């Protein structure tokens, strides 16, 4: 069994760029609201959350990210997003995209911080990031806002006991599947190609050890790429390797990729 989902190529093209585009497209289909100028929060800055946050920002939204991993939080900050703790994000944002994949991220304590009128959308498949028991306990009344003929859960307004109102889009299930046509076909083609290539690697005995190895890849074995013939005496340049074209000495040529172990 080969783990396609963890492939760096799949995470980049399908999760980051494909999901980022299709989730935002699903949001616009479901609401007909403007993205430019919107105060949007993305909870979780993994590949899918990164794609959603970056797409929203590219369309003119003011994006805040909540992320527990310090490296990912730094990444979000350096890409131009505001970074905040979850309570501060919930209090400030009108649109909240849940992209952690974890269960019950929005519980009773977090519901207290949600901005009046906030709209919540899901980026994960199962719509499990809101504690349903806590939401039910805090709710005084629900109203389905969907037009006749639409999915009954397309837009549901929850009036909380303290008078605030929040809206859940498609019960926080993955919005690009419930309100759009899924990921762009180019992104899916790449994922299917990875599956086919992995099957070919299994058939050729090149898929790695038994069990659940990662998607076969040659790229990780070739970085930093070794250099050959860089010095007049045939030795290596200072440091032993050069990791970019800019840093190679004159006349250096990379070792061909196919010769990498």
Measured between alpha carbons, how far is 168 from 119 in angstroms, rounded to an integer? Answer: 6
User: What does each C-alpha distance from 91 to 88, 100, 120 come to in angstroms?
Assistant: 5, 18, 13
**pTM, to two decimals:** 0.79
In terms of Cα–Cα distance, which of 101, 118, 98, 123 is closest to 26? 123
For residues 140-159, average pLDDT: 85
For residues 146-155, average pLDDT: 75
**Residue 242 confidence (pLDDT) above 80:** no
241, 225 in Cβ contact below 8 A?
Answer: yes
| Buried/exposed code over 153-167 (b: 16+ C-beta within 10 A; e: otherwise) | bbbbebebeeebebb
113, 87 in Cβ contact below 8 A?
Answer: yes
Summarize pLDDT for 5-47 with one digit per residue, the tens: 888 989 999 999 999 999 999 999 999 999 999 999 999 999 9
In this structure, what DSSP letter does residue 162 have?
T
Taking each helix axis from N to C end, the angle separating 47-58 and 20-31, rounded to the nearest 10 degrees, works out to 60
Q: What is the pLDDT of residue 147?
A: 72
126, 104 in Cβ contact below 8 A?
Answer: no
Measured between alpha carbons, how far is 98 from 238 in angstroms, rounded to an integer? Answer: 47
**Residue 185 confidence (pLDDT) above 80:** yes
**Residue 104 confidence (pLDDT) above 70:** yes
Q: What is the pLDDT of residue 246?
A: 42
Label residue 257 by pLDDT band (50, 70, 90).
very low
User: What does each C-alpha distance from 106 to 43, 89, 97, 114, 206 come to in angstroms?
Assistant: 10, 12, 11, 10, 44
Summarize pLDDT for 59-89 with one digit per residue, the tens: 999 999 999 999 999 999 999 999 999 999 9
- Helix, strand, coil shares of the chain, percent, nearest 5, are 40, 20, 45
Label residue 148 by pLDDT band (50, 70, 90).
low
Measured between alpha carbons, how far is 225 from 28 in angstroms, rounded to an integer? Answer: 44
């Amino acid at each position: 069994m080969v783990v396609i989902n963890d492939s760096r190529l799949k995470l980049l093209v399908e999760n980051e760029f494909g999901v980022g585009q299709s989730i935002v497209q699903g949001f616009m289909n479901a609401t007909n609201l403007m993205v430019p100028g919107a105060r949007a929060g993305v909870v979780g800055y993994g590949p899918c959350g990164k794609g959603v946050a970056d797409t929203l920002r590219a369309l003119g939204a003011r994006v805040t990210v909540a992320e527990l991993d310090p490296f990912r939080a730094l990444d979000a900050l350096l890409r131009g997003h505001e970074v905040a703790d979850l309570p501060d994000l919930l209090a400030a944002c009108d649109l909240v995209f849940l992209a952690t994949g974890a269960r019950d991220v929005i519980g009773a304590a977090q519901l207290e911080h949600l901005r009046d009128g906030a709209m919540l959308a899901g980026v994960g498949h199962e719509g499990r990031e809101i504690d349903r028991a806590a939401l039910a306990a805090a709710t005084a009344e629900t109203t389905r806002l969907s037009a006749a003929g639409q999915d009954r859960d397309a837009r549901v307004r929850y009036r909380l006991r303290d008078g605030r109102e929040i809206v859940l889009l498609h019960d926080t299930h993955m919005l690009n599947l419930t309100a759009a046509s899924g990921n762009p076909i180019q992104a899916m083609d790449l994922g299917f190609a990875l599956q086919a290539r992995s099957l070919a690697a299994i058939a050729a005995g090149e898929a790695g050890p038994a069990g659940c190895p990662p998607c076969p890849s040659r790229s990780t074995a070739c970085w930093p790429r070794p250099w050959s013939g860089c010095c007049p005496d045939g030795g290596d340049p200072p440091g032993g390797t050069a990791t970019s074209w800019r840093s190679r000495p004159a006349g250096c040529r990379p070792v061909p990729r196919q010769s990498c172990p």
